[in-house]
Amino acid sequence: MIIDINFVGLIIASIMASAVPLILASCGELITERSGVLNLGVEGMMIIGAISGFALMTITGSLIIAVFGAMLAGVLISTIFAFLTQTLITNHVATGLALTIFGIGISAMIGKNFVGIPGKEFPVLFEGLKDTIPLLSPILFGHSIVFYFAFALPFITSYFLKKTKIGLIVRAVGDSPESASNQGINVRLVRYACILYGGAMCGLAGAYLSMIYTPQWIENMTGGRGWIALALVVFSTWNPIKILIGALIFGGLTIIQFHMQAIGVRIPVQFLTALPYIVTIIVLVVISRDSRKIRLSTPSSLGKSFHKDN
Amino acid sequence: MIKIVKRDQPSKTIFFFTPVLAIFLTLVAGGLIFFILGFKPFEALKFFFIVPIADKYGFSELLLKATPLCLIAIGLSFCFKSNNWNIGAEGQLTFGAIVSGGVALLFYDQEGFYILPIVILAGAIGGIIYASIPAILKTYFNTNEILVSLMLVYVSKLILDYLVVGPWSNPEGFNFPETRQFSESARLPLLFEGLRIHAGIFLALAAVVISWFVFYKTYLGFQMKVSGFSLKTAKYAGYKGKKMIILVFLISGACAGLAGVGEITGPIGQLHREVSPDYGFTAIIVAFLGRLHPVGIIFASLVVAITYLGAETAQIFMQIPKYTGQVFQGMILFFLLASDYLLFFKFKFIGSKK
């Protein structure tokens, strides 16, 4: 059997493409969680980003407005979460769930008029280099700018958290809000910023789905990716580089599923579709079994409200 | 000048008043959304909240939708009271429906008084089995129950889909994704001629009474309350934490499974792809809106059930998209959580200058 080396490259590239929304959303959520805030509304913010991006693209015709508009929509919806959890000191879990329910509802409401409209072609970079190097070309070239950004993001995030002053502040706020506050850091402000940043990244992840990955609007098109992104943050033990690995594994599961159907493996399609969810559970179990390791890497104040009496 | 002051103690009156406030604020915000969408706000709200329940049939539909919500929310209140975040009731409902539906299909050509109890029991067991997965993983493998219970929702829906399309599909059904009709003996009886409300409502009411008794009259209820308040205190008092976590999960799984039984053995009488319009998720809101109190949950389930009916009526009469229901549900929870601020803080007017 001859395996076409470029075909292998194409499969790897498609795995990477399906990992993009997971990387974006997880890296955003990772910053939010590093500041001590657990936002379970990832799915809701992603779907809002998806419909906003698609709607703006259809209405304005501008891809730039659409991409940034989707990020802004993510920021706006996460502002609700930030206001509730930070200013009104509500429970993070319940507020995040409300955000997801609300987001799915409102996206379907807005999206009603956009069902069945074909998307636009999103420009790709380095198109001309596509046939230059065997195997590597399809992996490296001919992708959207969001794709390249997503694969740079874990490294940027890691650098930000480890090497910059603001990154240090974010970690301090997440690990010990009391002492950070005593040092004169405005805990609430930092957390607001981290929540809104997470919203922007989830918005972008959603826009990638509806504008680039499958350029159309389908109700509920995020299909649980937001929850898998949340699981990836735990999987990574709050380390951005490991998010990259996790997202590629899940991307791989999604793609393998298609190929197994294509070559006629006689496994029910529903089982293959369920695979990413089942693997998520197994991975979570394996990672969390070592409770000491989890405790050491979890931001200490994750999910706990902080209120300064004055 | 207005100053915000922390209360010495959360106010009890406000505890039960804020849900009403939240509903009111949701109506105002909902009216605003309708206005933005270009509808007359009052007319839209009337179609959403009053028209659907104005007649006998409407009221029966309200009870029909409130039944699973109430049942699941009662189960969830066991989990939430003790700080266990089971958010996968939708999956437990679906799996309960699968198991009870499977049992009902075994008896599809038989009649007998013993069939219905077996079918109901099977549903509860299905829910219990499914809820035991996040419970055991949480207690023995330290795994986050929120993510596990949620992932299992997707898995359960895919299992159901596989069964109704594949091995369990009706052999005489022209490949429709549904099973055979269950026999009459496997069906929960309808209560009134021409209305769809069925005996499942008694399961919900029984759950209300039992949960009230457990919460306020038993040692388990006390333990749950203490654990929910402070895990450290619970440990200090020597409570068997793991056992309790598993128990509350199993209770809520059983309730969700029973809700699943009601959905398939009530008016429909067969398994098909969509056994539940996200009752399992909506019930989370019901549990909070009802303040995790059995009686509160009854009222909350009625209020939230209207959003389901209202969404349908508004879609038919005003072409308002049916997802408005979910938007309303999300808003209710937002406003409820927000108004909890009044529980812990109060506004104090200082001086005469405004």
**pLDDT digits 0-9 by tens, B225-250:** 887 777 677 777 767 678 888 999 99
CATH of the domain at B170: 1.10.3470
Q: What is the pTM of this model?
A: 0.91
Residue of A91, A97, A228 to mutate when probing chain B, most B C-beta within 10 A? A97
Token pair listed for B231: 């895990």
Which residue's structure tokens are 């959580």? B337
Phi, psi for B5 (deg, rounded to 5): -120, 140
Confidence class for position A309, pLDDT limits 50, 70, 90: low
Instruction: Look at chain B and report how many structural domains it folds into.
Output: 1
CA A105, B148, B157: angle at the middle one, nearest 5?
55
Confidence class for position A128, pLDDT limits 50, 70, 90: confident
Nearest CA in chain B to A101: B330
- Report yes or no: A251 and A22 within 8 Å, Cβ to Cβ: yes
What's the Cα-to-Cα distance from B87 to each of B84, B114, B173, B264, rounded to whole Å?
Answer: 9, 33, 35, 22
CATH of the domain at A120: 1.10.3470
- Tell whether B144 is covered by a domain: yes
What's the Cα-to-Cα distance from A211 to each of A110, A136, B41, rounded to whole Å?
Answer: 16, 25, 34
Please check the confidence at residue A227 and state whether its pLDDT lies above 80.
Answer: yes
- Tell whether B294 is covered by a domain: yes
Please check the confidence at residue B351 and state whether its pLDDT lies above 70.
Answer: no
Q: How far is B52 from chain A (nearest CA, A)?
A: 20
Q: State the average pLDDT over residues B51-66.
A: 92
Which residues on chain B are in Cβ contact (under 8 Å) with A291?
A: 142
- Helix (H) or strand (E) holding A238, with range, is none
pLDDT computed for residue B1 by the predictor: 66
Residue B219 buriedness (CB in 10 A; 0-12 / 13-18 / 19+): exposed
Nearest CA in chain A to B133: A281
CB contact under 8 A, B155 and A268: no
Residue of B322, B327, B343 to mutate when probing chain A, most A C-beta within 10 A? B327
A80: three-class secondary structure by DSSP:
helix
List the beta bridge partners of residue B5: B346
- Tell whether B354 is covered by a domain: no
CB contact under 8 A, A95 and B334: yes
Which residues on chain A are in Cβ contact (under 8 Å) with B133?
A: 281
pLDDT computed for residue B348 by the predictor: 73
For chain B, the straight-line distance linking the first and the last C-alpha, in angstroms and rounded, comes to: 6
- Report yes or no: B47 and B310 within 8 Å, Cβ to Cβ: yes
- Tell whether A69 is covered by a domain: yes
pLDDT computed for residue A310 by the predictor: 43
| Cβ within 8 Å of residue B51, ≥6 positions away | B58, B313, B317
pLDDT computed for residue B347 by the predictor: 77
Confidence class for position A2, pLDDT limits 50, 70, 90: low
Please check the confidence at residue A142 and state whether its pLDDT lies above 70.
Answer: yes
Instruction: Look at chain A and report how many structural domains it folds into.
Output: 1
- Tell whether B306 is covered by a domain: yes
List the beta bridge partners of residue B190: B198
pLDDT computed for residue B342 by the predictor: 84
CB contact under 8 A, B326 and A230: no
- Tell whether A303 is covered by a domain: no
Residue of B155, B282, B322 to mutate when probing chain A, most A C-beta within 10 A? B155
B150 touches chain A (CB under 8 A): yes
Please check the confidence at residue B73 and state whether its pLDDT lies above 50.
Answer: yes
Q: State the average pLDDT over residues B210-233.
A: 84
Please state which of the ranges A51-60, A76-85, A116-125, B127-136 shows the lowest mean pLDDT.
A116-125
- Tell whether A309 is covered by a domain: no
Q: State the average pLDDT over residues A179-202.
A: 96
Q: State the average pLDDT over residues A245-269.
A: 84
Of A234, A274, A285, the CB nearest to B158: A274
- Tell whether A123 is covered by a domain: yes
CB contact under 8 A, A105 and B150: no
Residue B294 buriedness (CB in 10 A; 0-12 / 13-18 / 19+): buried
Nearest CA in chain B to A229: B147
- Tell whether B79 is covered by a domain: yes
Token pair listed for A120: 């636009």
What ipTM was predicted for this assembly?
0.90
Please state which of the ranges A3-7, B22-26, B79-83 shows the lowest mean pLDDT.
A3-7
Q: State the average pLDDT over residues A194-209.
A: 98
Nearest CA in chain A to B335: A84
Please check the confidence at residue A3 and state whether its pLDDT lies above 70.
Answer: no
> How far is C-alpha B277 from the geometric centre of its chain's CA atoms?
11
> How far is C-alpha B17 from the geometric centre of its chain's CA atoms?
21
Which residue's structure tokens are 């008029």? A113
- Tell whether A70 is covered by a domain: yes
B314 touches chain A (CB under 8 A): no
* Structural domain of A248: 5-297
Token pair listed for B88: 């996968």
pLDDT computed for residue B353 by the predictor: 46
Please check the confidence at residue A265 and state whether its pLDDT lies above 80.
Answer: no
